[in-house]
Amino acid sequence: MLQFEIKKVFSKFKNKMAMILLLIILIVTSILTMNRVEYIDTDGERSSGIAAARKLRVEQNKWAGYLTEDVFAEAVKENEQINNSKEALSDDIAAQDKAYAKKQGISDICNLIICAFSEWRDYNYYAIDNVSLEEAKQVYEKRISSLKEYLDSGEETFTDEQKNFLIQRYENLKTPFYYEYIGGWSALLQNMSTFILMLALVIGFFVSGIFSDEFQIKADSIFFSSKLGRNKAVVSKVSAGFLITTVLYVVFVLLYTAIVLLMLGADGANCPIQLDLWRSTYNVTFFQAYLLIVAGGYVGTLFAAIISMIVSAASRSTATAVIVPFMILCAFPFLSRIITLPGICSFFPDQLLEVYLSVKEFELVELGDKVMSVATVIIPAYMAICLFLLPVLYYIYKKSEIK
C-alpha cells in the first residue's frame, strides 16, 4: 500500500519536474559552496573551487596539530616576517597579493588571534599586527576575559543566569584546539542553511498533494468506501509523507555533503567549531555542529511537511497546502524582523533551519532558572510537536466526509 502511495507521488508530472529542480539546486549550491574556497598562488593569481581547496589544504596542513601558546607565537612571528617582506611593503597590489599568498597557511590561526584581540563586536584585520609574542600566548584566556568584559559592559541585557551560562561554556571549552585544514567543513556549514531551506520547500511541494489529490481527482469515494480506506490506507498516506520527507532530505543532504567534502576535503571534522566561529557557545566539533544543523533542518522540514499535509487533508486543496512551507519557512523570518519580540522569535519554526546562526551567535533560552542554547531546545520541542501532529493528521483525514 505504501509503495503505491509513493508511486502516486512520483508518477505526477509536476513532481517529476520538482525532482529535476532539486537536482539543479543540488548542483548549483554545490558549485557556489565550492567557490567559497579561494587560493592565491605564489604569483599572486587568485583561484577558487576544487583546485584552490587542494592547494590551500596542503599549505594549512603544514600547521596541523594542537594550537599551543608557542604555535600562536610562531604564527605572529611568521605574520610579522611576511608583513616586513619586500612584497608586503610594496605599493603594487600584485606584489601584496604575493605576500598574502604566503600567509594562507597560517590564515586560520591568524584569524583566531585577530578575533581574540579585536573589540567584541568588531573584526580588526590588522589587530594581529600589534600583538606581541607574549600576548599571542594569551589567546585562550583573552577569549574568556573579552566575554566577561562584554557582559559587564551592559551593551546587551543578559540575566545573571545567562551570564554564568556563557562564562561557564567558555571556560569549559577544551584547549588547546586541535587544528588542521577546515576549508571544506567551513564552506559546507555556511551554505547548509540555504540548501536546507530550498530542500524543505521542494519537499513540501512533493507531499502537499498526498491527501488533497484524492479529492481533486475525485478518487476519494472509492478510497474511503474501501475496507482499509479509513484506517490502514490513511496510515500508509501518513507514512508515505513521512518517508518521502525523510528519504529526500537524507539523500539530498548526504549528496550535498559528499559532493562538497569530496571536492573541498573532509579534514577538520574533529576540530572545534571555534576555529571558524570564535565566539560560539557550543563546545562542539565541526562534525557535531554539522549534525546539529542537519538535525534542526530535518525537524524544520518535517514540521513544514506535516503542516502542509494537515492543510492538504483539511482544505482538500493542493494549491493551499503547497503555500504552507513557504509561509512557515519564509514568512516567519520576515515576521521576526518586524516583530520586536526576540524571545518569541527564537521559537519560530524557521529557526530550525538557522541552527548555523544559533551556533554562531548568543541565542539563549531561559526556562525557569535553566539557561540553554536555542537549538538544544527547539529541535526536541518541534520533534515532539511533529510526533503529536502525525496522529492529528491521521484523524483529520480518517474523518473526511464526501459531500
Partner 1 sequence: MKLELNNLTKKFGDFTAVDHINLTMNSGVYGLLGVNGAGKTTLMRMLCTLLKPTSGSISCNGKDIFKMDGEYRRLLGYLPQDFGFYPEFTVQDYLLYIATIKGLRPSVAKRKVKELIPQVGLTKAANKKMKKLSGGMKRRAGIAQAMLNDPGILILDEPTAGLDPNERIRFRNLISELSEERLVLLSTHIVSDIEYIANEILLMKDGKLMHKGTADEIIDSMTETVWECLVDKNMVSDFMKKYKISNMKSEPQGVILRIISYEKPSFDAVCVKASLEDVFLYYFGEKAGDENAAI
Q: Kindly list the residues in this chain that would bind partner 1 in the complex (CB under 8 A).
A: 1, 4, 7-8, 11-13, 214, 217-233, 401-403
Q: Please, what is the minimum distance in Å from the beta carbon of residue 206 to partner 1?
A: 15
Q: Which residues pair with 178 in a beta bridge?
A: 66
Greatest Cα-to-Cα distance within the chain, rounded to the nearest angstrom: 85
- DSSP, collapsed to helix, strand or coil, labels residue 65 as strand
Q: Please, what is the minimum distance in Å from the beta carbon of residue 222 to partner 1?
A: 6
The smaller minimum CB distance to partner 1, of residues 55 and 232, is found at: 232
State the DSSP code for 115: H
Q: 207 is written with which cell numbers?
A: 507531499
Q: Please, what is the minimum distance in Å from the beta carbon of residue 375 to partner 1?
A: 41
Amino acid at 293: I
CA distance 338 to 344: 12
Q: Please, what is the minimum distance in Å from the beta carbon of residue 15 to partner 1?
A: 10
CA distance 321 to 318: 5
| Inter-residue contact 192 to 77 (CB < 8 Å) | no
State the DSSP code for 327: I
Q: Please, what is the minimum distance in Å from the beta carbon of residue 209 to partner 1?
A: 11
The smaller minimum CB distance to partner 1, of residues 76 and 393, is found at: 393
Q: Please, what is the minimum distance in Å from the beta carbon of residue 398 to partner 1?
A: 10
The smaller minimum CB distance to partner 1, of residues 287 and 394, is found at: 394
The smaller minimum CB distance to partner 1, of residues 89 and 319, is found at: 319
The smaller minimum CB distance to partner 1, of residues 4 and 388, is found at: 4
The smaller minimum CB distance to partner 1, of residues 8 and 102, is found at: 8
CA distance 112 to 118: 10
Burial of 398 (0-12, 13-18, 19+ CB in 10 A): middle
Q: Please, what is the minimum distance in Å from the beta carbon of residue 270 to partner 1?
A: 48
The smaller minimum CB distance to partner 1, of residues 337 and 403, is found at: 403
The smaller minimum CB distance to partner 1, of residues 14 and 46, is found at: 14
CA distance 57 to 181: 6
